[in-house]
Amino acid sequence: MTPRSRPNDDELSDCPTPPRRPTIVDVARAAGVSTAVVSYTLNGRSGVSATTRERVLRVADELGWRPATAARSLRSGPAAAALVVVHDQPFGTRAAFPLDLVSGALQTLGPDTLTLALHVAESPAGAALLMDRWWTERRYAAFVVTGVRVDDARLAALRTLPAPTVVVGAAADGGPPTWRHVVLDDGEAFTQLGAFLADLGHRRIAMVAGSESLVAPVRRAAALEAALVRHGIQLRTVAGDGPERASAALRPLLSAADRPTAIVTDDDATAGLVLDVARRLGLGVPWDLSIVAGTDSPACYLTTPSLTAVPYPVEELGRATGWALRAVLGTATSRRAVGADPVGGVDPPSGAVPVGRLVVRGSTAPPAGD
Amino acid sequence: MTPRSRPNDDELSDCPTPPRRPTIVDVARAAGVSTAVVSYTLNGRSGVSATTRERVLRVADELGWRPATAARSLRSGPAAAALVVVHDQPFGTRAAFPLDLVSGALQTLGPDTLTLALHVAESPAGAALLMDRWWTERRYAAFVVTGVRVDDARLAALRTLPAPTVVVGAAADGGPPTWRHVVLDDGEAFTQLGAFLADLGHRRIAMVAGSESLVAPVRRAAALEAALVRHGIQLRTVAGDGPERASAALRPLLSAADRPTAIVTDDDATAGLVLDVARRLGLGVPWDLSIVAGTDSPACYLTTPSLTAVPYPVEELGRATGWALRAVLGTATSRRAVGADPVGGVDPPSGAVPVGRLVVRGSTAPPAGD
DNA sequence: TTGAAAGCGTTACCAT
DNA sequence: ATGGTAACGCTTTCAA
């Protein structure tokens, strides 16, 4: 019943060596069938009688058989995708984004279907280089790109490979047919935010913009500006990329006679900074100044007062990314079909991921003179 | 000169299909040598004449040859390690830790040598399951474990596999010979912190502890307590795992008549919370209350006043992790030798990673009655 | 329904 | 110094 471990195994030294993992050859021998039958069975394909299938599965289980990734990849191509995170600036508060995104993606990707690995690169160009290398080495079957830059070296590289790609948070279209876009409807959210501030009575509004090399912050600022214009308000924008630049810009802005009564930031950390600068200048929040963080996070309710913020549904973005990943691997010149059943909710991949309604906390109020 | 792409390629449909990547067979044919010579050349092994080597390298480069990961792994075992991050609670402020750690590890790991992938699991048990699976599937050659729990399912699993493992931030020893420990000398740092506070004149000191299921926070609290005992001070400790528990514990603590004059936290976010609660209670920081964050981060100088903090050298921890990874893969029943040259600094892997001196900012001062 | 055998791309051993 | 070739573990025709 117990098969000999290997035919060409030397008899002497099998005690100290760790026992070889069983292969389908072992399973086939133990089950008294050929390897083809085992392969068919283990991949759930038709053409195997029920009794044989059951016996093979039982034997495989008893032997503790597990597929060897490398052998499988050699024939069928890799069954993994990668997200290469660009580690430009030291990670700020939003640094958990990639981890949360992957966490969300796992909810729509079964753990068996397709695995999503995270890697780190120093720059977009470095990330592009890695993806190029890993694609030609057939290490990954697809890639996920987040934090898209204005002229992004990664997208340029992926376009020429061309590898199945999921682009998160950039434009809703473009790229080869093997690309999918996951978009966040933050334009809509910032439009609503504009209306919210205008309705509160604010007329002098400023935005501390995020990095102007990043696509999403630019889009968000534009959406807010457009919304305010519809209320006859002109948005003042100051550069806010990094704490130094932000506080340098904030001090004169908040000291001036016609200082804004409301300030919107692109991220949560900068909103905290605004709060700090305001306090140093003796401005009461929210009475003298309203503050809105453009990206909600746990840090937003740690401050005094807590910060009104635009939600940032990273997990849902991740779920959508999972769907998109299955889509590109279905579409693409893919080397292996993705598994059947989705794991998480039954959401079919719809349009943009909705942001949801502004989270109003203590940092916003009507302007003082109202 | 240009070799035919494949011998058994059908002649008709090679326009639309993406051209096959060249293999060493192609290189061998083009260079007029055998695949063995090509393999030896590309792996930089001796036994190939200089002229042949040069020709082979040139041809391989012209053809754009890249090794196929799967084929290589099939023979030599995987050349990648994985860090499975446990995503218990939503990632807070320290969430960037894994990313920064990997970033540091890349500095001692060449990109070609060994790649380090990041994955996410829902729980320690889930992570253990994944690592078990991926080890038996021969997907990864080694694993990195961070954020070690008191009874950690991951370590138990890794011990039985047994897989080469790098344990970051737990005890300095233990485990099979294929394990390496990367330890942070935060015990020393917290000892110094105790002396610092005592020297300032503080006598009533409290610590808002981190999660008691995590090894590192427990050790840090113990170090502080021991240091203070040597100064005749008894440390009061309150549970601080999560913002809710922390603020629930802080309010009565800071309202009491014998409230502490100094508070130490385990992490940065909790320190911000302490600052907030103190402010609401009308306590001036640092005059009425000194605050020290047990983990420095960019958030620590965003507050008013900025927070005195214990440094947290994650990148250096990462570099040490890189070294440890090379060590376990040298030691282990490893399936492939790790590459030769370290990339970053020439640091030989010494003892514990030093934390460095306390970063004194605005949140600490002698107690009021002094 | 099942078996035999040909790959997949690379490495390593044994001849030459 | 170089060539031939057998693994590595799995998938997938093609026959039986």
- B244-293 confidence digits (pLDDT tens): 888 889 999 999 999 999 999 998 888 988 998 998 899 999 999 999 99
**What pLDDT, on a 0 to 100 scale, did the predictor assign at position B7?**
37
Chain A stretch 181-240, residues whose beta carbon is closer than 8 A to a beta carbon of chain B: none
- Token duo for residue A87: 């580690």
- Token duo for residue B234: 């008894």
pLDDT band at B349 (very low <50, low <70, confident <90, very high): low
**What pLDDT, on a 0 to 100 scale, did the predictor assign at position B22?**
92
Partners of B98 on chain A (C-beta within 8 Å) are 99
Strand partners for B167: B145, B181
**What pLDDT, on a 0 to 100 scale, did the predictor assign at position A19?**
65
Q: Which nucleotide is nearest to B75 (CA to C1')?
A: D8
Distance CA B169, CA A30 (A): 45
**What pLDDT, on a 0 to 100 scale, did the predictor assign at position A93?**
57
| C-alpha distance from residue B96 to each of A80, A293, A367, B92, B189 (Å) | 23, 20, 37, 9, 22
More confident site: B289 or B44: B289
Q: Are A203 and A233 in contact (CB under 8 A)?
A: yes
Determine, for residues A120 and B118 on separate chains, whether the beta-carbon distance falls below 8 Å: yes
Partners of B299 on chain A (C-beta within 8 Å) are 93, 269, 272, 299
Q: Which residue's CA lies closest to nucleotide C11 at its C1' atom?
A: B75
Distance CA B329, CA B76 (A): 13
Strand order in the sheet with A236-239: A236-239, A205-209, A262-265, A290-293, A308-309
Q: Which long-range contacts (CB under 8 A, 24 or more apart) does B70-74 make?
A: B70/A69, B70/A70, B70/A71, B70/A72, B70/A73, B70/A74, B70/A78, B70/A138, B71/A70, B71/A74, B72/A70, B73/A69, B73/A70, B73/A73, B73/B138, B74/A68, B74/A70, B74/A71, B74/A74
Does B337 score more than 50 pLDDT? no
More confident site: B31 or B3: B31
pLDDT band at B193 (very low <50, low <70, confident <90, very high): very high
Partners of B298 on chain A (C-beta within 8 Å) are 90, 92-93, 243, 269
More confident site: B335 or B219: B219
Q: Which residue has the tokens 């860090």?
A: B83
Q: Any CB–CB contact under 8 A between A115 and chain B?
A: yes
- The residues, ordered by sequence, that sit 6+ positions from B32 with a Cβ below 8 Å of its Cβ are none
Q: Which nucleotide is nearest to B35 (CA to C1')?
A: D3
Is A199 exposed, middle or buried (CB count within 10 Å of its CB: 0-12, 13-18, 19+)? exposed
Three-class secondary structure of residue B78 per DSSP = coil
**What pLDDT, on a 0 to 100 scale, did the predictor assign at position A13?**
36
Helices B69-76, A69-76: crossing angle, 10 deg rounding: 150
Determine, for residues B280 and A304 on separate chains, whether the beta-carbon distance falls below 8 Å: yes
Distance CA A116, CA A109 (A): 9
Chain B nearest-CA distance from A246, in A, is 12
CB-side exposure of A149: number of CA atoms within 13 Å?
16
| C-alpha distance from residue B18 to each of A74, A131, A163, A334 (Å) | 18, 18, 11, 12
DSSP B306-319: PPEE----HHHHHH
Does B55 score more than 70 pLDDT? yes
Nucleotides of C under 7 A from a protein CB: 1-5, 7-14
Q: What percent of chain B has pLDDT over 70?
A: 88
Three-class secondary structure of residue B331 per DSSP = helix
Report mean pLDDT in 10-residue bins for chain A, 370 residues.
36 47 92 93 88 93 93 92 87 74 91 88 95 95 95 95 92 86 94 97 96 91 96 94 86 95 93 90 95 90 89 94 90 44 51 92 89
More confident site: A303 or B318: B318
Which H helix or E strand runs over A237?
Answer: strand A236-239
* B334 conformational bin, left if phi > 0, alpha if psi -120 to 50, beta if neither: beta
How many other CB atoms sit within 10 Å of the CB of residue A107?
Answer: 18
Q: Are A148 and A83 in contact (CB under 8 A)?
A: no
Q: Are A238 and A209 in contact (CB under 8 A)?
A: yes
Is B146 exposed, middle or buried (CB count within 10 Å of its CB: 0-12, 13-18, 19+)? buried
**What pLDDT, on a 0 to 100 scale, did the predictor assign at position A341?**
43
**What pLDDT, on a 0 to 100 scale, did the predictor assign at position B18?**
53
- The residues, ordered by sequence, that sit 6+ positions from A222 with a Cβ below 8 Å of its Cβ are A187
Helices A50-63, A35-42: crossing angle, 10 deg rounding: 90
Chain A stretch 290-319, residues whose beta carbon is closer than 8 A to a beta carbon of chain B: 298-299, 301-304
pLDDT band at B190 (very low <50, low <70, confident <90, very high): very high
**What pLDDT, on a 0 to 100 scale, did the predictor assign at position B330?**
78
Average pLDDT, chain B: 86
Q: Any CB–CB contact under 8 A between A177 and chain B?
A: no
Average the pLDDT over B63-73 and give the result.
93
**What pLDDT, on a 0 to 100 scale, did the predictor assign at position A344?**
43
Prior bond to B162 cis, omega within 30?
yes
The dihedral of CA B223, B228, B229, B231: what is its sign? positive
